[in-house]
């Protein structure tokens, strides 16, 4: 299996048949959504993930619409974070990691060509559980993603930094202290800085791995508001342990359990009238 994975990475580009692949996938998933290729930003097909002998993800196929908020919920260790980290290939650094199946973003298989890793991560930003600003100034933090792309134009960088900080609703709090160390900010500000840092690169998808679990309720509310606002520009996927949060901010909710996708539907449906008994038990707090 591993050899197949590697050969897929190094293999020739055969995008010619991806379109037909997609169409066939569509008909299989026709129950959930209409089979129009442009409709989906992100598609996964029969994805399995192994860490050595342990199977962390079991056969998950899922389609995510552009400019929507999708929440991943489920008990700890259910694989939702692992699944999220597949979309920007952050699992690649884990030893013994092995992945099967297809993940397509804008119709391109992101596990096909290794050299596109940096490009992929420009396209798919990520915000982590604990705020993790670099031990540098606020400005440097936001500018970092641009600088590593080789952008030298100071005016352009300054503009993008300001725009990102405004978008992340942090500009008014830090505009006079851009050269101050990012570590002097409060936890909630740090997390918004991390969001700004991601926005500055201008991705189209933002992955959020429990972005508010380390924050107080007021900071959490601010970030939720921000996420809601960002929806008009970005496709957002958020992992959360907080059921109310999923219900409050997401359009779609996916419930994971033991590495399987149990149910994936409109959030309203999941929280009011879930198809599966297990989903209902989880969201009503009977286990998990």
Contacts with other proteins, residue ranges (CB under 8 A): 88, 90, 93, 95, 118-122, 125-126, 128, 130, 132-136, 144-145, 147-149, 194, 197-198, 201
- Give the residue with the Cβ less far from other proteins, 24 or 149: 149
CA nearest 164: which of 201, 127, 133? 201
Of 119 and 284, nearer to other proteins (C-beta) is 119
Burial class (CB in 10 A: 0-12, 13-18, 19+), 148: exposed
For the bound state, the minimum distance from the C-beta of residue 121 to other proteins, rounded and expressed in Å, comes to 4
CB of 230 to other proteins, least distance (A): 17
E strand or H helix that includes residue 10:
helix 2-10
> What is the C-alpha separation between 116 and 223, in angstroms, rounded?
31
Residue 33 C-beta: closest distance to other proteins, Å = 29
Nearer to other proteins, 134 or 233 (CB): 134
| Residue closer to other proteins (CB basis): 45 or 197 | 197
Name the minimum Å distance from CB 13 to other proteins: 21
Label residue 277 exposed, middle or buried (CB < 10 Å: 0-12, 13-18, 19+). exposed
CA distance 151 to 224: 31
């Amino acid at each position: 299996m591993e050899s197949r994975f590697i050969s897929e990475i190094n293999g020739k580009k055969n995008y010619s048949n991806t379109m037909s692949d997609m169409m066939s996938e569509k008909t299989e998933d026709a129950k959930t959504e209409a089979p129009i290729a442009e409709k989906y930003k992100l598609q996964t097909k029969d994805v399995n993930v192994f860490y050595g002998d342990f199977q962390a993800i079991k056969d998950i196929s899922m389609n995510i619409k552009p400019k929507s908020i999708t929440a991943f919920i489920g008990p700890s260790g259910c694989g939702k974070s692992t699944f999220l980290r597949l979309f920007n290939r952050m699992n690649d650094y884990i030893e013994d990691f092995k992945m099967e199946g297809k993940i397509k973003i804008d119709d391109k298989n992101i596990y096909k060509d290794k050299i596109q890793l940096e490009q992929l991560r420009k396209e798919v930003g990520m915000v982590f559980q604990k705020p993790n600003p670099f031990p540098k100034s606020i400005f440097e933090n936001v500018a970092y993603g641009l600088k590593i792309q080789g952008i030298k134009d100071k005016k352009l960088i300054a503009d993008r930094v300001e725009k990102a900080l405004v978008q992340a609703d942090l500009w008014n709090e830090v505009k006079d202290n851009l050269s101050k160390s990012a570590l002097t900010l409060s936890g909630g500000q740090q997390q918004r800085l991390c969001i700004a840092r991601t926005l500055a690169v201008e991705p189209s998808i933002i992955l959020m791995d429990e972005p508010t679990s380390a924050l107080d309720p007021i900071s959490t509310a601010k970030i939720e508001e921000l996420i809601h606002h960002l929806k008009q520009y970005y496709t957002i996927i958020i992992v959360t342990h907080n059921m109310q949060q999923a219900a409050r901010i997401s359009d779609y909710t996916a419930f994971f359990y033991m590495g399987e996708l149990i149910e994936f539907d409109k959030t309203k449906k999941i929280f009011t009238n879930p198809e599966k008994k297990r989903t209902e038990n989880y969201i009503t707090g009977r286990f998990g």
